[in-house]
Chains A and B, each alone.
Chain A
Amino acid sequence: MGPTRPTREKIKELRVEGITKRFPGIVACDSVDLTIGENEILALVGENGAGKTTLMNILMGLYQPDVGKIFINGRPVQFKGPADAFAAGIGMVHQHFMLVPNMTVAENVALGLKESHTHLRLDLSGVKKRIAEISERYKLPVQPDAYVWQLSVGEQQRVELIKTLCFGARFLILDEPTSALTPQETDDLIVLLRRMASDMSIIFISHKLAEVTALSDKVAILRRGRVVFKGTTAGQTAAGLATLMTGHEVVLPRNEGVDGCGEERLVVQDLCVKSDRGFLALDGVGFSVRSGEILGLAGVSGNGQKELAEALAGLRRVEKGRVSLMGRDLTNRSPREIIDAGLGYIPEDRTNEGIVSSFSIKENLILKDFASPKFSHGIFIKSQEEARNAASLQERFDIRCSSLNSAAGSLSGGNIQKVILARELAREPKALIAVYPTRGLDMGAEEFIHTRLLELRAKGVAIFLISEELDELMNLCDRIAVIFKGKILDILAGREATRPALGLLMAGIRPEAADRAAEPGEKA
């Protein structure tokens, strides 16, 4: 059994039966049965940790199931490794890209293509021809000579796709392909996948129910390793799917409060900041956030959001302008001083910046306060206090982990975000900057984070929320500023903001009507 020879046979049906996979202390997949037919798109949804990636790794031969079988066209197969799965025509784009940044696109493809480097010779032109064919066939534009590090996340994703297709995949698995994409890139990907489905079958993993309904024919929901729902996508509602996914009803909370009324807390004036590459990323940005207010910042990512957040947190030099918190000038102060002044910060890159991933959860929860009198006697860290703090925050923020001593990097994205949130909120900040706080998270986690942000607002904290999810912004914000090419084009009142109005501004188009400046916070 088990094809190890490459076959060109069509995959008319792929079926898994009774797949069970255990890890220490957890059943990652629990008797999973699934069938995917020819040219079908199956959306596989489930919360973080539901077992989706594990199931797909089993399909790719990266893991062996403890129990259960895989059938292709009714015949049982056994994949000893990814090479076997490739040979059978199954290809996967992993959740985390597997590209070498300082190699070109063509070289990255050649890397996995055995026949391109036989006899010590690298047939790069052959590889480029193959890339050109595939990019032509599926209308997937790529530049084969570009270096991977030069590409945006969306472009890198296309390279991953092309790579998989060059290996001869006739059955595609995409593990959370949209979690790192901007909404625009996501829309492009969905159009592309629809087109590709005329040629192959696709398993598409996502938390975002809008994507699922836009793309898939069938949907399967995994909860704690079990398939809790299988059926056609048509007729499903996002709310219904979310309920099945989490096991309880999910209602994203809304900001129902009256417009902000407190004093100005975070004030930014005429801010100019350079990007890593040396050009002006922010060009005269100004706004203020009041106590008890959530000010949103909408915009296509890459328009200066990252630089703005870093400049506010003291992690990037301010060339010109002024930042102050509660009347205190914080321009170009050290991160430590800014932290001590009461600014909380949820960074964009939660695994590399928000936590020290090899540190324990316990340690990460005191990352900003280990030297404070609460957690140290000057020299020594009070380890009981550290443990007590961790235990109480774990309970308050529902951090799910096997132990508070385990490395924070081993947690799922949602739980890492809870660790960061717990640490930042426990410090009782005067103002909080949250950058893409729910990107890539499932709905349960999103609901949790939104609820916490609104609680914080009610307590009078000034919140600056950078996001590209318009729904998130419109649900939560009192006012929404729109950034385009390093400038704030306009600030709209949250209640008046509409998708089309925000969309136009995000594209850099300022409607005449916007002149009536809906900025209740800015006094003349």
Chain B
Amino acid sequence: MKTSARVAYIALISCVAVLAAVGIGAIVLVILGADVVQTYKVILTEPLKDLFGITEVLVRAVPLILVALGIAVSFRAGILNIGAEGQIQMGIISATAVALAWPALPKSTLVPLILLAGAAGGALWASIAGYLRAKLGVNEILSTVMLNYIAAQLYGYLLRGPMIDPAELQTGSGTPQSVRLPKSAWIDRIIPGTRLHWGIVLALVLAIFIYILLWRTTSGFKLRAAGASAKAARYGGINVESCLFFAMVLAGAFAGLAGAVEVTAVHRRAIEGISSGYGFSGIVVALFGGLHPGGIIPAALFFGVLLVGTDMTQRILSIPANMVSVLQGAVILSIISAKMVINDPYAREKFARRLSRFRGHPGGYEVKR
């Protein structure tokens, strides 16, 4: 199949999925008694109306891109990482710890060190699930979900105990959060007055890196082969187990990095809820983006708009921001259904027939896998 046809095909899936998701969302809105058209208008246009909205969309897109890139690698290699949420939290913990341990280091050393620490934290956490899968065949969906719970508890404990800001204890307010990071640990903002930070550049560069890794390198070849057909990969002399492990660790590193970026560029201290579901939304973004960096970036921007937009509906129309979860769920369902329909050759044939009747000449066009 030609590239242009493939792009058209992916675009078609996405549009159908979006329409279906919008439909499901509309049903929920009607039940809530909201004005459907007005709500969608706010969600989709309000964030793009001014500089503040646009920069906020980009700020949301950064962790989504980072997490989704890792997810894409792991899914392509045939190991389903559902544990990004926990890996993000472990990344935040390690990044914060490093930032607070060496506040005197110059920025040019400290920031890279923090980012590496974040990636290492996520990678280490993911490596547990990776090891269990590669060595003992433990289902990674199960282990990563369980590791999410453990990470959440650990994170909560550290912020309430060992890592809590001493000031919180003195004033007695007891908000679970760490000390503010030293300035030398900050990733700077690009546009003053907004929260848009240099992390976006890092995310874009890493997107290119992942593209090259997957489609230009021998490691990428191995990973994709292991994921596409473990049996054929083994036959071809590829060590499938080590591919699974490596892909899981890489996915964890990207999630941990996302956490580190969030804490040093946006919040500047570890607080509860930093990950705010990016670990799960990242999976949706990765799937919606076709597990390809070129699709993940627009998908992350789209979800950034949704996240900011639903925040705004909460303020403007007092519709709960949880609507975004409904829409996400709807998007997952519709992507999966749309893909199944479009992959079915007989459905394709029927579609092509309708299309050709509509265009008035017989037979012609066929969408191929």
Contacts and interface: CB of A to CB of B under 8 A. Distances in A.
A349 B239 CA distance: 20
B183 interface: no
Interface string B212-252: 00001111011011001101111111110000000000000
Contact of B231 (A345, A352, A381): A352
B349 A315 contact: no
B353 interface: yes
A353 interface: yes
A358 B366 contact: no
Contact of B369 (A347, A355, A410): A410
Interface string A332-344: 0011100110000
Given A335-B235, A352-B231, A380-B216, A370 B221 contact: yes
Contacts of A371: 218, 221-222
A117 to B, nearest CB: 23
B217 A380 contact: yes
A125 to B, nearest CB: 33
Contacts, number: 88
A357 interface: yes
Contacts of B235: 313, 315, 335, 345, 347, 353-354
Interface in B317-369: 346, 349, 353, 362-366, 368-369
B239 A356 contact: no
Interface residues of A, number: 41
A22 B238 CA distance: 40
A379 B217 contact: yes
B216 A24 contact: no
B365 A24 contact: yes
Contacts of B31: none
Contacts of B218: 370-371, 376, 378-381
B2 to A, nearest CB: 8
A357 B364 contact: no
Nearest to B362: A66
B349 A356 contact: no
A21 B362 CA distance: 10
Interface string A103-145: 0000000000000000000000000000000000000000000
B1 interface: yes
A22 B216 contact: no
Nearest to A66: B363
A334 B239 contact: yes
A296 to B, nearest CB: 22
A281 B219 CA distance: 36
Interface string A17-40: 000011110000000000000000
Contacts of A21: 363
Contacts of A345: 235
Nearest to A23: B366
B260 to A, nearest CB: 26
B232 A356 contact: yes
Contacts of B231: 349, 352-353
B349 A63 contact: yes
Nearest to B349: A63
Contact of A381 (B216, B228, B368): B216
Contact of A336 (B237, B349, B363): B237
Nearest to B236: A367
A358 B239 CA distance: 19
A97 to B, nearest CB: 17
Interface string A341-385: 000010101001111111100010001101100001011110100
Contact of B364 (A22, A62, A352, A363): A22
A315 B222 CA distance: 17
A359 B234 CA distance: 15
A334 B217 contact: no
Nearest to B231: A353
Given A340-B237, A378-B218, A381-B221, 16 more contacts: A22-B364, A24-B364, A24-B366, A62-B349, A64-B349, A66-B362, A335-B235, A335-B236, A336-B237, A347-B235, A353-B229, A353-B231, A358-B228, A358-B229, A359-B224, A367-B225
Interface of A: 21-24, 62-64, 66-67, 313, 315, 334-336, 339-340, 345, 347, 349, 352-359, 363, 367-368, 370-371, 376, 378-381, 383, 406-407, 410
6 contacts: A24-B366, A339-B237, A340-B237, A353-B229, A359-B225, A381-B221
List the 6 closest pairs (A to B, CB-CB), nearest first: A336-B237, A66-B363, A367-B236, A356-B232, A356-B229, A339-B237
